[in-house]
Amino acid sequence: MTTPDTSATTNTGSADPANVSLSGYVIDRLYGPDSVDTTAPGEPGQIHDRIGEPGVYPYTRGIHEGMYRTRGWTMRQFAGFGSADDTNERFKYLLANAKGTNTGLSTAFDLPTLMGRDSDDPLSLGEVGRCGVAIDTIEDMHRLYADIPVDEVTVSQTINGPACVIWAMYIAMAKQRGMDITKLGGTLQNDILKEFHSQNEFIYPPEASVKLVIDTIEYATQHLPRWNSVSISGYHIREAGSTATQELAFTLRDGMEYVEAAIERGLDVDTFAPRLSFFFNSHNEFFEEICKLRAARRIWATAMKHRFGAQSDRSLLMRTHVQTAGCSLTEQQPLNNVVRVAYQAMAGVLGGCQSLHTDSMDETLGLPTETSVRVALRTQQILNEETGVTRTVDPLGGSWYVEALTDRMEQDANAMISEIDDMGGVVSGVHKGYFRRSIAEASYRFGQEMEAGDRIIVGVNAFTEGNSDNQVEILQIPHGVEESQCERLTEFKKRRDDDAVNVALDEVRNAARDDLNVMPALIEASLANCTMGEMVQAMADVYGRYLSGPEW
């Protein structure tokens, strides 16, 4: 059987490191029929097939009967840098290079935007447009998606702390373009809980932050039926150093926290659950990543059915985006990253993802160039067109090793979920430091293994010949981007009606103070030309800012 090392929570013990996975599982020499438990308790008095059929509960083998034979995964490449005009040009480049493949857009925002700061905020100095696109106003939103039919192309927005504000600006932009917002399709990342675990891009206290997520879930349920209002994300948990099993458990329990809060708000689970989506990392441990996604579908379907009483089959489905592991990319010998990304992408597909982003080889050095972006997209197209992985559904299903490892990860993730339940839920765990401590310990173990040579990273602690070669060009963001963005913002403020701005911001404060859904007030504030930072601050006037982590 696949068994976890008994010391996996502290070190890899005396086990041969070559036989221990990244999550600390001791891998047997050989697997056979006795390695797999094919059935397990289901509803009272019944059993269900744990492997089963694709498109059938508990969805171990995939959420659709035909999977990629009948519908390909979306090639959703992440892009964003400089000004809205720069990123708009990159979006058009990606769409042009897709050439008919199933492609959507995914938007990366710069650090000031992620933290709810306008570009002219003193704390934004030196960061505008550096790691993503700068968005301050509804005019920026128009420029970002200029000439792109956003009512036809699905758009993902990687934003969390100010997610409700950015989404309100997007909806307001669509309204000004005369679009029917019920036709807008896309995903708002909007998973604030993982920010407290790992990425630190939070603004408000955890309780208020979760309330704002539920506001978006409620508004999408009522007005934007094609929109995924939250993408529950394990990606950043993994990037911070967690194991695959921690990523699995913490992500799913975060999702359960949102479901509980939405039900407490009075929403029927079957009205919003079908539009929840997930976002996972795909790292280097090939089979572990595949089994993580298979276990995730099974855990989520079981929880939705038995824990939350969902009646609709669509509420049980875990629809997931996968991104290859940015933290696995190396500055040394960056061309090798193309190979890493290809294997990680294949793991995501063999695991049954619905959409996929492949990292560019130069992302550890800076923002990706057009050449590296094209190679990343071509990696997906080669995977789709040349490898044959789409010819049958779940080609690894029934492998004794895969099924045994899937079972083990499910069991251990469920044990972690129970531990979080016992401490009072995710928000309680945030206040107790449980998640940060667990991730830090896992990251420390990995660092020790790498330094000791127990974990080989090609080009880093082994096979270092060629490290001094200058192999790729680096995209540079000129300082003029920040100057131009601040000048545009100044001109925007001069042209607007200040009285209308102040009235709109007061309405945002009132909605927050009266515990109303803030989305209608934020959309009106966007239409009144309030800036992103002003709307964020209006809510901070009521909720306060959370300073228990690094102050930014």
List, for residues 275-327, the tens digit of each pLDDT value: 999 999 999 999 999 999 999 999 999 999 999 999 999 999 999 999 999 99
**187: part of which helix (H) or strand (E)?**
strand 186-188
Q: Are β-strands 47-49 and 74-79 bridged in parallel, bridged antiparallel, or unpaired?
A: unpaired
Q: Check residue 9 and give its pLDDT.
A: 35
Would you call 142 helix, strand, or coil by DSSP? helix
The residues facing 104 across adjacent strands are 76
**Which structure tokens are listed for 325?**
């592991």
CA distances 284 to 164, 342, 444, 545, Å, are 34, 10, 18, 37
Sign of CA dihedral 209, 181, 186, 59: positive
What are the φ/ψ torsions at residue 374 (nearest 5 degrees)? Answer: -65, -40
The residues facing 40 across adjacent strands are 48
Q: Check residue 35 and give its pLDDT.
A: 87
**Which structure tokens are listed for 173?**
């932009």
Instruction: Please tell me the distance from the alpha carbon of residue 281 to that of residue 293, in angstroms, as a whole number.
Output: 10
**Which structure tokens are listed for 147?**
């000439």
Average pLDDT over residues 428-455: 95
Sign of CA dihedral 306, 311, 313, 315: negative
Q: Check residue 44 and give its pLDDT.
A: 41
Residue with tokens 């929880």, as numbered in its chain: 303
What are the φ/ψ torsions at residue 513 (nearest 5 degrees)? Answer: -65, -35
**Which residue intervals of 240-369 are DSSP H helices?**
244-265, 269-272, 286-302, 336-350
Eight-class DSSP state of 458: B
Does the pLDDT of residue 83 top 80, yes or no? yes
Q: Are β-strands 355-357 and 74-79 bridged in parallel, bridged antiparallel, or unpaired?
A: parallel
Instruction: Please tell me the distance from the alpha carbon of residue 305 to that of residue 272, in angstroms, as a whole number.
Output: 14
Least confident of 62-66, 149-153, 206-210, 410-414: 149-153
The percentage of the chain sitting over the pLDDT mark of 70, rounded to a whole number, equals: 92
Does the pLDDT of residue 194 top 70, yes or no? yes
Nearest to 165 by CA among 124, 113, 89, 107: 113
Under a CB-based contact definition with an 8 Å cutoff, are residues 344 and 379 in contact? Answer: no
Does the pLDDT of residue 14 top 50, yes or no? no
Instruction: Please tell me the distance from the alpha carbon of residue 333 to that of residue 502, in angstroms, as a whole number.
Output: 53
**Angle formed by the axes of helices 519-527 and 498-513, nearest 10°:** 170
Average pLDDT over residues 256-276: 98
Residue with tokens 């911001």, as numbered in its chain: 505
The residues facing 133 across adjacent strands are 82, 109
Average pLDDT over residues 216-243: 96
Average pLDDT over residues 435-460: 94
Q: Check residue 95 and give its pLDDT.
A: 84
- Extract the runs of DSSP E, i.e. beta strands, from 234-354: 277-282, 320-324
What's the order of all strands across the beta sheet hosting 74-79?
Answer: 227-228, 186-188, 155-158, 103-108, 74-79, 355-357, 320-324, 277-282, 231-233
Least confident of 43-57, 263-277, 317-331: 43-57
Would you call 11 helix, strand, or coil by DSSP? coil
CB atoms within 10 A of CB 321: 26
Q: Is 485 exposed, middle or buried (0-12, 13-18, 19+ CB in 10 A)?
A: buried
Give tens-digit pLDDT for 69-82. 999 998 887 778 88
Instruction: Please tell me the distance from the alpha carbon of residue 54 to that of residue 347, in angstroms, as a whole number.
Output: 17
CB atoms within 10 A of CB 530: 28
Residue with tokens 């809980």, as numbered in its chain: 193
Distance of CA 206 to the CA centre of its chain: 19
Least confident of 154-158, 222-226, 534-538: 154-158
Least confident of 39-43, 70-74, 460-464, 518-522: 39-43
**38: part of which helix (H) or strand (E)?**
none
Does the pLDDT of residue 387 top 50, yes or no? yes
Q: Check residue 153 and give its pLDDT.
A: 87
Residue with tokens 């990696």, as numbered in its chain: 379
pLDDT, the chain, mean: 91
Instruction: Please tell me the distance from the alpha carbon of residue 423 to that of residue 8, in angstroms, as a whole number.
Output: 22
Does the pLDDT of residue 506 top 80, yes or no? yes
